């Protein structure tokens, strides 16, 4: 069963986005925790569960952070799977809340970005990448994703103009979201197409920018959220599958294909009922793959789908179809704050569903889909997860 | 020194201001070092499971299919099919940065007839996806074995052919800083 009952997501926090920082990951995670406590006006002692995700904690682990932050928890998770960290933390926390193992769980992703720190992350990412990928030129995920993107373009006829649809609409959304690191800059089609080449079809504006920052939210029962008079979003259904389709020679789909029909069936909604979609957008082709695998269009129809779909949060674009997508600008425009990037779509969704988004608020929004993808251990992203959230009762 | 510490040290040495002579990445796991050693005498050697016959790449300690502790390096068929190729214009590694400042660096993924998908440097930038290729190994300027894909017509069974193809890629030469910092 992938459905959930009475699980509330509360107090979405995005904190401290910056290109580089001399601070530690604990600073960003702890600052998110502080903001969670302040905005929800609860006592720190009421938080009895903690899930953290970070690539840059160094020698520390989740339990060290519990001591740093003076917490006392009966439920503790450390989930380091990059782009699906937020959804995995949410699924585990939700079951713990349902079972009564904990009362209020803080789910936080945060990472710092030291000078030249990305090189260290890339060089140490996994044993497969140390032996099988890092020596082959790029020293980061660009090579793997340019192979995946080139293969997709050849097989399904996608063009750079198709990927531009995703990047340009996301930048428009970021222009209305103050935290986005690139939100102050508009992006035009000419600038997108004329950008510096990075790896094959992948050019500068197709790549996320590693940065520092933190994201987080609280998970509790809907009764508790109502008692505390906190606006909340509700988790309806969620699932995950990792290392799916592992015999595919080049990745052009991931685990969503195996469970998305089930998610729609159990939630009673279809893709046409989703009022927003937050995908994991480390590269625009990966967002296109999620649109296909999540049932918004069939495999290979992603290019046509983005051409006929306006993905701006306010529907101000010219395309006839409307699907607000990555309404805060996604990682492509906000920056990729390590594991926090796996929480970005979730926190943005909770903001939207509790009318806290501010200048990028979608009007009359009741439900939406969040998906996660990640962990290029060798030549493809291994993880997939998706969740449908809805507006909580007021 | 742990692997992570070794890598941090190498990353420090990778700083362009400190490094007149840049080499390809040397760091490997112990299994990657075994791979380098096993590939010295032959065109291509891969860990093969004695229990189920699975060809494992990148190298692991246990077979990725049957989990048996029976992987041994065996000479492997070099034939394969190029799945996808790309030209890299950007790298975090100084050696490749210097190479890419002259020309984009071609690499690709190959499905070996023996089973695994490997990432490889391309000896020939005209290779196209879907084409039959051969994959051989050669030591680079850091004395590690790397995989190189070339046209299917090349007689890669001969050591001098492999050497000539590798030298043409620039992998066997150190990238020397030209002037100043």
The model's pLDDT over B114-158, given as tens digits with 9 standing for 90+, comes to 999 999 999 999 999 999 999 999 999 999 999 999 999 999 999
Residue B3 pLDDT greater than 80, yes or no: no
pLDDT at A119 (0 to 100): 82
Q: Is A200 on the interface with B (CB under 8 A)?
A: yes
Residue B67 pLDDT greater than 90, yes or no: yes
Instruction: Read off the DSSP letter of residue A119.
Output: H
Q: Is B116 on the interface with A (CB under 8 A)?
A: no
pLDDT digits (tens, 9 = 90+) for A103-125: 999 999 999 998 878 888 888 88
* Cα distance between residue A187 and residue A167, in whole Å: 8
Distance from A129 to chain B by nearest Cα, in Å?
A: 8
For B32, name the nearest residue in chain A, comparing CA atoms only: A131
For B6, name the nearest residue in chain A, comparing CA atoms only: A124
pLDDT digits (tens, 9 = 90+) for A308-359: 999 999 999 999 999 999 999 999 999 999 888 999 999 999 999 999 999 9
- Beta bridge mates, B138: B146
- Beta bridge mates, B117: B111
Out of A132, A137, A154, whose CB is closest to B58?
A132
Domains of chain A: 7-115+212-233 (3.40.47.10), 142-207+236-389 (3.40.47.10)
Residue B48 pLDDT greater than 80, yes or no: yes
Assess contact for A109 and A341: CB atoms under 8 A: yes
pLDDT at A331 (0 to 100): 95
B155 occurs within a structural domain: yes
Q: Is B98 on the interface with A (CB under 8 A)?
A: no
* Cα distance between residue A379 and residue A376, in whole Å: 6
pLDDT at B147 (0 to 100): 98
Residue B15 pLDDT greater than 70, yes or no: no
B181 occurs within a structural domain: no
The CATH number of the domain holding residue B45 is 2.40.50.840
Does B90 contact A138 at a Cβ distance shorter than 8 Å? yes
Out of A119, A136, A140, whose CB is closest to B119?
A136
**Average of per-residue pLDDT across B17-26:** 82
Q: Is A41 on the interface with B (CB under 8 A)?
A: no
pLDDT digits (tens, 9 = 90+) for B141-151: 999 999 999 99
Collect all residues of chain B within an 8 Å Cβ-Cβ radius of residue A128.
58
Q: Is B105 on the interface with A (CB under 8 A)?
A: yes
Does A198 contact B104 at a Cβ distance shorter than 8 Å? no
Collect all residues of chain A within an 8 Å Cβ-Cβ radius of residue B85.
147, 150, 200
Inter-chain contacts counted by CB atoms under 8 A, chains A and B: 131
* Cα distance between residue A279 and residue A277, in whole Å: 6
pLDDT at A121 (0 to 100): 82
| Encoded tokens for A46 | 């009421």
Instruction: Look up the domain containing B25 and give its range.
Output: 3-176
Q: Is A148 on the interface with B (CB under 8 A)?
A: yes
Does B86 contact A143 at a Cβ distance shorter than 8 Å? yes
* Cα distance between residue A361 and residue A46, in whole Å: 30
Residue B17 pLDDT greater than 80, yes or no: no
If DSSP states are collapsed to H, E and C, what string results for chain B? CCHHHHHHHHHHHCCHHHCCEECCCCCCCHHHHHHHHHCCCCCCEEEEECCCCCECCCCCCCCCCCCCCCEEEEECCCEEEEEEEEEECCCCCHHHHHHHCCCCEEEEEEEECCCCEEEEEECCCCCCCCCEEEEEEEECCCCCEEEEEEECCCCCCCHHHHHHHHHHHCCCCCEECCCCC
**Average of per-residue pLDDT across A164-183:** 96
**A266 phi, psi to nearest 5 deg:** -70, -30
Instruction: Read off the DSSP letter of residue A94.
Output: H
Biggest CA pair distance of chain B: 56
Assess contact for A224 and A353: CB atoms under 8 A: no
pLDDT at B13 (0 to 100): 65
Closest CA to A139 of B111, B49, B105, B61: B105
Q: Is A124 on the interface with B (CB under 8 A)?
A: yes
B65 occurs within a structural domain: yes
pLDDT at B16 (0 to 100): 59
**What is the total count of domains within chain B?**
1
Residue B89 pLDDT greater than 80, yes or no: yes
Residue B14 pLDDT greater than 90, yes or no: no
Does B111 contact A249 at a Cβ distance shorter than 8 Å? yes
Q: Is A366 on the interface with B (CB under 8 A)?
A: no
Which band of pLDDT confidence, cut at 50, 70 and 90, is reported for residue A381?
A: very high
Q: Is B95 on the interface with A (CB under 8 A)?
A: no
Q: Is A218 on the interface with B (CB under 8 A)?
A: no
Which band of pLDDT confidence, cut at 50, 70 and 90, is reported for residue B2?
A: confident
Distance from B38 to chain A by nearest Cα, in Å?
A: 14
Does A198 contact B109 at a Cβ distance shorter than 8 Å? no
Show Cβ contacts of residue B83 under 8 Å, excluding neighbours closer than 6 positions.
A147, A151, A249, A250, B108, B109, B110, B111, B117, B129
Residue A1 pLDDT greater than 60, yes or no: yes
Assess contact for A144 and A379: CB atoms under 8 A: yes
Collect all residues of chain B within an 8 Å Cβ-Cβ radius of residue A120.
7-8, 11
User: How does the average pLDDT of chain A come out, rounded?
Assistant: 95
């Amino acid at each position: 069963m992938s459905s959930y009952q009475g699980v509330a997501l509360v107090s979405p926090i995005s904190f401290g986005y910056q290109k580089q920082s001399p601070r530690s990951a604990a600073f960003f995670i702890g600052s998110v925790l502080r903001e969670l406590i302040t905005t929800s006006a609860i006592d720190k002692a009421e938080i009895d569960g903690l899930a953290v995700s970070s690539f840059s904690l160094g020698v520390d682990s989740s339990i060290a952070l519990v001591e740093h932050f003076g917490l006392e928890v009966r439920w503790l998770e450390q989930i380091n799977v990059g782009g699906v960290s937020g959804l995995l933390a949410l699924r585990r926390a939700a079951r713990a809340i349902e079972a009564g193992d904990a009362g209020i769980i803080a789910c936080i992703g945060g990472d710092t970005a030291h000078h030249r720190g990305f090189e260290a992350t890339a060089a140490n990412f996994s044993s497969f990448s140390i032996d099988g990928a890092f020596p082959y030129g790029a020293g980061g995920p660009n090579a793997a994703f340019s192979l995946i993107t080139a293969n997709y373009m050849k097989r399904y006829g996608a063009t750079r103009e198709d990927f531009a649809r995703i990047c340009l609409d996301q930048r428009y959304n970021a222009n209305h979201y103050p935290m986005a690191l690139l939100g102050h800059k508009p992006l035009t089609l000419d600038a997108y197409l004329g950008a510096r080449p990075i790896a094959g079809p992948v050019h500068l504006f197709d790549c996320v920018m590693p940065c520092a920052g933190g994201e987080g939210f609280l998970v509790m029962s809907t009764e508790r959220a109502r008692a505390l008079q906190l606006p909340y979003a509700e988790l309806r259904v969620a699932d995950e599958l990792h290392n799916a389709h592992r015999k595919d020679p080049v990745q052009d789909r991931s685990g969503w294909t195996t469970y998305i029909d089930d998610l729609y069936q159990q939630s009673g909604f279809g893709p046409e009922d989703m009022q927003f979609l937050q995908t994991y957008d480390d590269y625009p082709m990966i967002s296109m793959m999620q649109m296909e695998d999540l049932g918004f269009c069939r495999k290979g129809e992603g290019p046509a789908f983005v051409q006929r779909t306006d993905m701006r949060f306010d529907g101000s674009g010219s395309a006839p179809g409307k699907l607000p997508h990555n309404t805060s600008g996604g990682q492509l425009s906000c920056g990729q704050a390590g594991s926090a990037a796996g929480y970005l779509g979730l926190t943005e969704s909770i903001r939207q569903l509790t009318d806290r988004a501010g200048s990028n608020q979608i009007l009359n929004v009741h439900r939406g889909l969040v998906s996660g993808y990640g962990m290029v251990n060798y030549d493809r992203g291994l993880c997939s997860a998706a969740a449908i959230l809805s507006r909580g009762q007021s | 020194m742990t692997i992570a510490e070794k890598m941090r040290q190498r990353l420090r040495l990778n700083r362009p201001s400190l490094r007149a002579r840049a080499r390809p990445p040397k760091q490997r796991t112990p299994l990657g070092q075994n791979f380098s050693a096993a590939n010295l005498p032959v065109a291509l050697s891969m860990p093969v499971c004695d229990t189920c016959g699975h060809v494992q790449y990148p190298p692991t300690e246990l077979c990725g299919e049957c989990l048996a502790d029976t992987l041994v390096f065996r000479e492997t068929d070099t034939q394969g099919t190029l799945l996808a190729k790309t030209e890299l214009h950007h790298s975090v590694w100084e050696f490749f940065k210097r190479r890419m400042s002259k020309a984009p660096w071609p690499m690709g993924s190959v499905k070996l007839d023996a089973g695994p998908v490997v990432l490889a440097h391309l000896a020939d930038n005209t290779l196209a996806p879907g084409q039959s290729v051969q994959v051989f190994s050669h030591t680079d300027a850091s004395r590690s074995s790397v995989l190189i894909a070339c046209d299917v017509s090349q007689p890669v069974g001969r050591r001098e052919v492999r050497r000539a193809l590798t030298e043409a890629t620039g992998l066997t030469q150190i990238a020397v800083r030209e002037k100043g910092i």
